[in-house]
Amino acid sequence: MANADTGAVRTAFEESVKDYYESGHGEVNWQYLPKTHEAIWPSERNNWNNLYLYNLKTGKMEHAITGGDGNVAEVLHLDRKTRELWFVGVGKVPGVNPYYKQFWKVGIDGGKPVLLTPENADHTISMSPDGKTFVDSYSTPTTPPVTVLRSSADGHVIATIAKADISRLKAAGWVPPIPFTVKARDGKTTLYGIMFKPSNFDPAKKYPVIDYVYPGPQTGSVRGRSFNPSRGDNQALAELGFVVVALDGMGTPWRSTSFHHTWYGDMGDNTLPDQVKGIQELAKRYAWIDINRVGIWGHSGGGNTTVDAMFRYPDFFKVGWAESGNHDNRNYENDWGEKYQGLLVTNKDGTTNYDNQANQDMAKNLKGRLMLVHGTIDDNVPIGETYLVAQALIKANKDFDMLIIPNVHHGYAASTPYATRRRWDYFVHYLAGNTPPKEYKLKAWPWY
Domain containing 75 — which CATH number?
Answer: 2.120.10.30
Q: Do 199 and 135 reside in the same domain of the chain?
A: no
Output the CA angle 287-181-246, nearest 5 degrees.
80
Q: What per-residue string of b and e applies to 420-430 under the rule 16 or more CB within 10 Å gives b?
A: bbbbbbbbbeb
Cα–Cα distance, 191 to 7 (Å, whole number): 50
Is the pLDDT score of 446 beyond 80?
no
Tell me the residue type at 284.
K
- Residue 13 within any structural domain of the chain: no
What pLDDT is attached to residue 2? Answer: 87
What pLDDT is attached to residue 200? Answer: 96
Q: What per-residue string of b and e applies to 356-367 under the rule 16 or more CB within 10 Å gives b?
A: ebbbbbbbeebe
Is the pLDDT score of 448 beyond 80?
no
The CATH number given to whatever domain includes residue 248 is: 3.40.50.1820
What pLDDT is attached to residue 384? Answer: 98
pLDDT in tens, 416-438: 999 999 999 999 999 999 999 99
Q: Do 130 and 262 reside in the same domain of the chain?
A: no
What pLDDT is attached to residue 1? Answer: 87
Tally of structural domains, the chain: 2
Tell me the residue type at 48.
W
Q: State the pTM of this model.
A: 0.95
Is the pLDDT score of 219 beyond 80?
yes
Cα–Cα distance, 427 to 431 (Å, whole number): 5
Cα–Cα distance, 436 to 266 (Å, whole number): 39
Of 212, 215, 213, the C-alpha closest to 357 is: 215
- What percent of the chain stands above pLDDT 70? 99
pLDDT in tens, 277-303: 999 999 999 999 999 999 999 999 999
The answer to whether 282 touches 289, Cβ cutoff 8 Å, is yes
- Residue 6 within any structural domain of the chain: no
- Residue 325 within any structural domain of the chain: yes
Is the pLDDT score of 447 beyond 70?
no
Q: Do 186 and 228 reside in the same domain of the chain?
A: yes
The answer to whether 218 touches 305, Cβ cutoff 8 Å, is no
Q: Do 159 and 178 reside in the same domain of the chain?
A: no
The number of residues in the chain equals: 448
Read off the pLDDT of each residue in 181-199 and give the average, rounded to a whole number.
98
Average pLDDT, the chain: 96
- Residue 94 class from Cβ within 10 Å (0-12 exposed, 13-18 middle, 19+ buried)? exposed
Q: Do 137 and 228 reside in the same domain of the chain?
A: no
376 CA to centre of own chain: 26
What pLDDT is attached to residue 444? Answer: 75
Q: For residue 122, which phi and psi values (nearest 5 degrees)?
A: -90, 125
SS3 of 218, please? coil
Q: Do 312 and 421 reside in the same domain of the chain?
A: yes
Cα–Cα distance, 263 to 275 (Å, whole number): 14
Task: Name, in order, each residue with C-beta under 8 angstroms of 5's C-beta and a sequence gap of 6 or more.
Answer: none
Read off the pLDDT of each residue in 54-71 and give the average, rounded to a whole number.
96
Is the pLDDT score of 27 beyond 90?
no
Is the pLDDT score of 115 beyond 80?
yes
HSE (side-chain half, CA atoms, 13 Å) at 310: 32
Q: Do 127 and 193 reside in the same domain of the chain?
A: no
The answer to whether 212 touches 244, Cβ cutoff 8 Å, is yes
The answer to whether 267 touches 329, Cβ cutoff 8 Å, is yes
- What percent of the chain stands above pLDDT 90? 94
Cα–Cα distance, 100 to 119 (Å, whole number): 10
pLDDT in tens, 83-113: 999 999 999 999 999 999 999 999 999 899 9
Of 23-32, 69-78, 419-428, the range with the lowest mean pLDDT is 23-32
- Residue 448 within any structural domain of the chain: no
Q: Do 149 and 269 reside in the same domain of the chain?
A: no
187 CA to centre of own chain: 22
Cα–Cα distance, 104 to 125 (Å, whole number): 11
Read off the pLDDT of each residue in 397-408 and give the average, rounded to a whole number.
99
149 CA to centre of own chain: 29
Read off the pLDDT of each residue in 60-76 and give the average, rounded to a whole number.
96
Task: Name, in order, each residue with C-beta under 8 angstroms of 359's C-beta and a sequence gap of 6 or more.
Answer: 268, 304, 307, 308, 311, 325, 327, 328, 388, 389, 392
Q: Do 298 and 258 reside in the same domain of the chain?
A: yes
Q: Do 191 and 268 reside in the same domain of the chain?
A: yes
SS3 of 45, please? coil
Residue range of the domain that includes 307: 168-430
